[in-house]
Structure 1
Amino acid sequence: MTSVRLFGAFSVLIASSIISTEASLHQYNGRRFESKGNSFFLHGGSEGIYHSLSSPSENTRDSFIRFEEITLRRPKDFSNFSSGYVHAIVFEVDDRETIGGSAYGGQRAVCCSPDLAKLGFCKEGEIIHRQSTKSPGWPQVFGTSFEVDESVATLRSRSISITETGMYNLYFIHCDQRLKDLVVEGKTIWKNPTGYLPGRMAPLMTFYGFMSLAFVILGIFWFYQYARFWKEVLALQNCITLVITLGMFEMALWYFDYAEFNKTGVRPTGITVWAVTFGAVKRTVSRLIILMVSMGYGIVRPTLGGITSKVVMLGVTFFLASEVLELVENVGAVSDLSGKARLLLVLPVAVLDAFFILWIFNSLSATLNKLQARRMMSKLFIYRKFTNALGVAVIVSVGWICYELYFKSTDVYNEHWQKAWIIPAFWQVLSFSLLSVICALWAPSQISMRYAYSGDGGEDFSRDDTLTLIKPSPMHEMDIRGALDTKPSKDHNADQEEGKTE
């Protein structure tokens, strides 16, 4: 009962809302209220905001939430009465318990119930709230009401200055059953000291700037080696060149995406779509390259043979699943998706990734066994290093997935938003690290052809794995007799020829 009282109806509303990434300019184009408990609410936004770095008179380094042109509309058929207040409530997540109350230890309610009104805690039909003990003047509560025969009410424009760093939430709430068809129009603008990027996304702009630089350094090394030994370049090295190029474009596009978002407050859809697409193509090509290398393509076998179509089909399927997931998460509004909808998009990518991993390690095992059997020591040496790098990457990935699940399960109210950027950043760093290892192992050099496929004993790699090494077969008795009979006849003929010459 204690937990029910502590995290009541309004806390559930906070936990059920997801941070919107459509922009720091939140638009409300005819959005409707939802019923929850004894109240009607509309989630106006949740963002991490850093405290202002300037004085109130300056606006260059100021943090604020600004309300502009907020209008409330009710159907004309229901405009023949005056209504109670429609409230806008802005609060920091640590002050969530200041919203709502309960009578006699019962479930928390947002709207004042008859029992609470009898106790004198509030007036029936009003929003229950009290002042924060840590931040005087918070939560910020204001609103407007409808007069008789009015179908439109306007919320006065205002700007709320943010003086303390935190995760801020905005809700529009009313308690009037007759206003259940009420809709909201207008916008709110959320600004951090350095721009309009939401707080949890702001570090990513700097991160992608450094990642762009890292790809440039890797690209300079790779293209220098490529230019020096272009006559020795393998097909595999051409594929690695493609991945590096895609990575450079992806990182640059993400940086410009966040920079534009930070400057204008509106997500640049075109740049975002291109960044997502380049990223999806890069991830697909990277997985296909690792799979083909694991199979020995270009190193110990000239082609993939009959499995080419299966490899291509897996790659196309993964690209489509990854592209759809990334488009929805980065281009659309995340808060429009329910948990089940997100799960339906994440599951295909996770399943395909697992299939890639199983196929890769199964192929690596077969390739290593064959290299060991044929004593191709130089190729075996490089493949063992490649296998170790993949093994470490998989182990680290599993560990990080466990941490990510723990992080999200313990951060129900997004209180650790300042660390949230590390989760997507880690996957980029891990991917770049593995790419760097592959570049180091297969960098173009004067001995690149040493690792290339050659016809000397390599053709058997494309056959069935059940083939064994060539070994002497027992000769039948008739074959032995034939061999013995043949040899003396040759000697006898030779003797006859020698006698004629004499």
Structure 2
Amino acid sequence: MLRLSFVIAILSLVSVCIEASVHQYDGEKFVSKGNAFVVHGGSEGIYSSAPELNESYPGGSFIRFEKVIFRRPMEFSNFSSGSIHAVVFEVDDRKTIGGSAYGGQRAVCCTADLAKLGVCKEGEIIHRPSVDNPGWPQVFGTSFGMDMTETILHPKSIQITKTGMYNVYFIHCDQRLKEAAVDGMTVWKNPTGYLPGRMAPLMKFYGFMSLAFVVLGIFWFSQYARFWKEVLPLQNSITVVITLGMFEMALWYYDYAEFNGSGVRPTSTTVWAVTFGAVKRTVSRLIILIVSMGYGVVRPTLGGLTSKVLLLGGTFFVASEVLELIENVGAVSDHSGKARLFLVLPVAIMDAFFIIWIFTSLSSTLNKLQARKLTAKLDIYRKFTNALAVSVILSVGWICYEIHFKSHDAYNEQWRNAWIIPAFWQVLSFSLLCVICALWAPSQNSMRYAYTSDEAEEFEKDETVALIKSSPLASKDVWSPELGLAERGNGNVEEEKTA
């Protein structure tokens, strides 16, 4: 119940702050940054729509300011203020904002020393024209008159003629406007729609993945219907995973398509897509774990391990669901927050625990199958182990690449390639699912891999013998009744082997 309450709390939190390419500001307070007061209005990758730049994205790209209002309390309205500016710049031009006096600390607002040099007016924002991008950065603003509690930033639409990562900041330098706040919205549009540039390729990707799951589903369900009398419990579980995957990919595609058309992310669709994905990942890991333990193939139950497996699965689902909700619901820009890294740790730790437990169980199962010379099951388990090993190696390599990618892209300048990172994990997961489907596809020989009571008895004998052999009483120099019984038991086992 505690976990359920926590998830509901997260859902209720993000449901009231859904923002996307339509960035809404509801009383955002200015924060002191150096010698300036700042509100971050958003950061997104935008593709150019200028035909002279030979861009392959027809349509219009723009950032539009709509009904942006600055407010201050009545008790702080007895003076005429300095300007409150809207600053729009491309990430390559970030050094054109701010300056320093005599090599000192960089400042956004013009200081007395810089004003003496005649390079700016004291109390105003320092900015210089971009050498590579004429007309940028764009700076415009408004100010409070005497006794005014609000002032409106005139509507403005800025055409984007250069592909890049664009930033919007609201900045003022007046110490007396500490209590000022921002209301209104900005609309960001790419040539193909309202999806942020980093996310735009993912709509086509999820369309492709939806088709891939349909093809896999057709193969699997046709085999399932053809040999339904030979179906194993494991194959029923694989059917569930394929069904969840089909729903997940379809929901993600619909989510991105609606987001692209309206500029506002559909909350309910996103939550459902995230939930189906979290359930699919949890069920997939649990299936791999219990298969590695030999469930349904060499043992009928998990015994005392059932509660531990379910506990690990439930905890992983909660952690994964919360992480994905924070990552996808209420995301407002292409600039990812560092605070989200904290939520990655529990998921990463449990993934590592899954991997250790899976390979430990696989090693034990393979040894037992080899000892009993169950060649058909041994062969399929070896292929399964190889596929898992390859996927783990690829995962580790990709994690290293992802760390390198993010650590060397502090300003999201590589935003056009960022979609590849989440896409890789979907492709890897789908590929492993295809391998499992190929290994355990329903067929007329499915029962060759099913659990039989005779094999279970043999496995239990092996486990008993292993426990007896590891007993500290088993010494060549000390005899006891328990040791005599153990030796007799071992003799019986050897006689059975000979027979």
TM-score by length of 1: 0.87
Q: Where does residue 46 of structure 2 map in the other structure?
A: 49
Letter in 2 for 1:33: F
The counterpart of 1:411, out of the listed 409, 418, 426, is: 409
Aligned to 1:492: none
- Pick from 51, 67, 84: which aligns with 1:86? 84
Q: Distance in 2 between matches of 1:203 and 1:337?
A: 17
Task: Pick the aligned partner of 2:160 from 162, 167, 174.
Answer: 162
Contact in 2 for aligned 1:53/1:193 (Cα 8 Å): no
Q: 1:287 pairs with 285, 288, 293, which one?
A: 285
- Tell me the residue number matched to 1:435: 433
Measured against aligned partners, the alpha-carbon deviations of 1:46-105 in whole angstroms (never above 9, x if no partner) come to 0000001569xxx98100000000000011111111111100000000000100001111
DSSP 3-state at the match of 1:160: strand
Change (3 A) 1:385 1:60: closer
Structure 1 residue ranges (4+ consecutive) displaced by more than 2 angstroms after TM superposition: 332-341, 457-475
Distance in 2 separating the partners of 1:263 and 1:340: 29
| Deviation (angstroms), 1:212 | 0.2
Q: Which of residues 104, 127, 131 in structure 2 aligns to 1:133?
A: 131
Structure 1 counterpart of 2:26: 29
* 2:23 maps to amino acid: H
Aligned to 1:262: 260
* Corresponding residue of 2:190: 192
Distance 1:328 1:415 in 2: 23
Aligned residue in 2 for 1:123: 121
**Following TM superposition, by how much is the alpha carbon of 1:347 offset from its aligned partner in structure 2, in angstroms?**
1.1
Describe the shift of the 1:225–1:242 C-alpha distance in structure 2 as closer, same or farther (beyond 3 A).
Answer: same
CA contact (8 A) 2:43 2:335 kept: no
The 1:335/1:213 distance shift into structure 2, 3 A limit, reads closer
Higher-Rg member (1/2): 1
Q: Give 1:181 deviation, angstroms.
A: 0.7
1:458 CA drift (Å)? 2.2
SS at match of 1:185: strand
Instruction: Give the C-alpha shift of residue 396 in structure 1.
Output: 0.4
Matches of 1:462 and 1:339, distance apart in 2: 52
Distance 2:64 2:256 in 1: 21
Letter in 2 for 1:50: Y
**2:89 match: secondary structure:** strand
2:105 corresponds to: 107
The alpha carbon displacement at 1:463 in A equals 6.9
Q: Secondary structure at the match of 2:136?
A: coil
Matched, 1:272 2:270: yes
Q: What residue ranges of structure 1 are gaps of 5+ in the alignment? A: 1-19, 476-502
| 2:307 equivalent in structure 1 | 309
Rounded to whole Å, the distance in 2 between the matches of 1:372 and 1:169 is 61
Q: Please name the residue that 2:251 is paired with.
A: 253
Instruction: Give, in whole Å, the separation in 1 of the partners of 2:50 and 2:226.
Output: 51
Instruction: Return the offset for 1:174.
Output: 0.3
Structure 1 segment 241-390 matched on structure 2, within 5 A: 241-333=239-331, 341-390=339-388
Where 1:45 maps in the other structure, the secondary structure is strand
Contact 2:43 2:333 in 1 (8 A): no
- The alpha-carbon deviation at position 334 of structure 1 amounts to 6.2
Evaluate the alpha carbon distance shift between residue 99 and residue 466 of structure 1 in structure 2; reply closer, same or farther with a 3 A threshold: farther
- One-letter identity of the residue aligned with 2:35: N
| Separation in structure 1 between the aligned mates of residue 90 and residue 50 of structure 2, nearest angstrom | 18
The structure-2 alpha-carbon separation of the partners of 1:462 and 1:80, relative to structure 1 and needing over 3 Å to count, comes to: farther
Q: CA deviation at 1:471?
A: 5.3
3-state SS, counterpart of residue 346 of structure 2: helix
The 8 Å contact of residues 54 and 62 in structure 1, kept in 2 or not, is answered as no
Residue identity matched to 2:30: F
Q: 2:392 aligns to what?
A: 394
Aligned residues: 453
CA distance in 2, matches of 1:282, 1:136: 50
Q: Which residue of 2 aligns with 1:39?
A: 36
The percent identity for this pair of structures is: 75
Who is 2:149 aligned against? 151
In structure 1, give the amino acid aligned to 2:195. Answer: L
The residue matched to 2:70 in structure 1 has which SS? strand
Query: Does the CA contact (< 8 Å) of 2:43 and 2:334 recur in 1?
Result: no
Q: Give 3-state SS (helix, strand or coil) of 1:426's partner.
A: helix
CA distance, structure 2, for counterparts of residue 340 and residue 49 of structure 1: 22
Task: Measure how far apart 1:473 and its partner are.
Answer: 4.8
Match of 2:233 in 1: 235
Q: CA RMSD in A?
A: 2.1
- Which residue in the other structure is 1:456 paired with? 454
Instruction: Give the whole-Å Cα distance in 1 for the aligned partners of 2:392 and 2:123.
Output: 56
Label 1:66 to 1:77 Cα distance change in 2 as closer, same or farther (>3 A): same
Secondary structure at the aligned position of 2:465 is classed as coil
SS at match of 1:110: coil
Q: After the TM superposition, which of the residue ranges 293-302 and 333-342 deviates more from structure 2?
A: 333-342
The equivalent position to 1:472 in structure 2, one of 471, 481, 491, is 491
Question: 1:366·1:465 contact (CA, 8 Å) conserved in 2?
Answer: no
Once the two structures are superposed, what CA deviation does each residue of 1:346-387 show, in whole Å capped at 9, x if it has no partner? 111111111100100000000000001101011000000000
Task: Find the residue that maps to 2:491 and give its secondary structure.
Answer: coil
Instruction: Provide, for residues 6-55 of structure 1, a one-character-per-residue CA deviation record: whole Å limited to 9, x for no partner.
Output: xxxxxxxxxxxxxx983100000000010010000000000000001569
Where 1:108 maps in the other structure, the secondary structure is coil
CA deviation after TM superposition for structure 1 residue 459, in Å: 3.0
AA aligned to 2:153 is L
Kept in 1: contact 2:20–2:333 (CA 8 A) = no
Distance, in Å, in 2 between the alignment partners of 1:398 and 1:103 is 47
What CA distance in whole angstroms lies between the structure 1 residues aligned with 2:406 and 2:18? Answer: 17
8 Å Cα contact 1:272/1:330 also seen in 2:
yes
What is the deviation of 1:329?
1.2
Q: 1:474 to 1:246 in 2, by over 3 A?
A: closer
Shift of 1:135: 1.0
Q: Secondary structure at the match of 1:296?
A: coil
